[in-house]
Amino acid sequence: MKFRAVMNDGINIKEFLNVISTFSRMQKNLIINVQPGKLLLQIESEAYDGQYLWCEIDATLRDGFFSEYLMDGIDTEHNQIYMTCLAASFLRALSYVRNNAVEYIKLKLIKTHMPCLAVEMSTTITNEQDVLTPKIQHAIPVTVVPRSEWNQYEIPLEVEYDLSIAMPTGKSLRGLLDKKKNLAPTVTLYATLNDELSLVVETEVVTVASHYRNLKCVPAHKPGPDADAYPTNLSEACCRVDTKKLAALFETINFYDVIMTANIRHEQALNIRFDMRQHAFVNYILPATNFE
């Protein structure tokens, strides 16, 4: 097995740090899935109850997120690598770039006395006499997942949704959900083809609704070859989810340039997708809860 990837774009490096930072606050364990055309990062999540969080980065474009990307999986038939590590350890290895510019970050799977993900970065330090380019290196212990256990980390890539609506700013939602999480354990999101999004919490004594208008809402794109053959006949879709879990996501995200979209499967699931630059995105799926 081999894996080597290099990032040398400053904004992509900061976005990568932000993804790891977000995931480390959501769960302690991080799963890294290396595939020939993409890199997936996901939390060791509560998949048993339908909650998933993952980031997918396209690795096919040399002018994309990675300037170099090489890998060999466990064999030709199963050309992938799954490994797990502590998200906090990964975050510490990247912490230097939070306040400092680096020329590149290199990720490489190595084996010393145990498998490790090596993180190397180079920076430039200038003083009155010399220009120094020291290298900073970390080795993060990882556990390589055997092929027999891969199915534990499968993520739902082919979920069908009914409506897809653009989201307001993360800052706006962060403040709103911070208030609503103290009112009720669940919040219901309503999307309509009239380009409206509503977030509603209900208690025994009060109903509090927040409305956003002029947000583009369309029937969701369905996966597969017949994606456009059976469009939804719904003009409105809604999903009730755990308020604290949704609020926790918006408390942790901190991306530079992102387009947020909510995909709703009526009364079943909510998907928030964060599209970043250079063909990378973060997906968060919450199942419906206590819908009556």
Q: Give the residue-averaged pLDDT of 258-263.
A: 92
2-153 maps to which CATH number?
A: 3.70.10.10
For every residue of 167-218, DSSP letters joined together read ---HHHHHHHHHHHTTT-SEEEEEEETTTEEEEEEE-SS-EEEEEE-S--EE
Within 13 Å of residue 252, how many CA atoms lie on the same side as its CB? Answer: 20
Q: Confirm whether 2-153 and 163-287 share one CATH topology.
A: yes
Confidence band for 277, pLDDT divided at 50, 70 and 90: confident
State which fold the 163-287 domain adopts. Answer: Proliferating Cell Nuclear Antigen (3.70.10)
pTM value is 0.87
Q: How far apart are CA 63 and CA 68, in angstroms?
A: 9
Domain boundaries of the chain, sorted by first residue: 2-153, 163-287
Residue 264, classified by CB atoms within 10 Å of its CB into exposed (0-12), middle (13-18) or buried (19+), is: buried
Average pLDDT over residues 189-197: 95
pLDDT digits (tens, 9 = 90+) for 52-86: 899 999 998 777 889 999 999 988 888 999 999 99
Mean pLDDT lowest among 92-106, 157-171, 219-233, 269-283:
219-233
Joined tokens for residue 43: 């939390």
Strands (E), 36-103: 38-43, 52-58, 68-72, 81-86
pLDDT level of residue 156 (50, 70, 90 thresholds): confident
Phi, psi angle pair for 179, to nearest 5°: -80, -40
Per residue in 118-149, pLDDT (tens digit) is 999 988 766 666 655 678 899 999 999 999 99
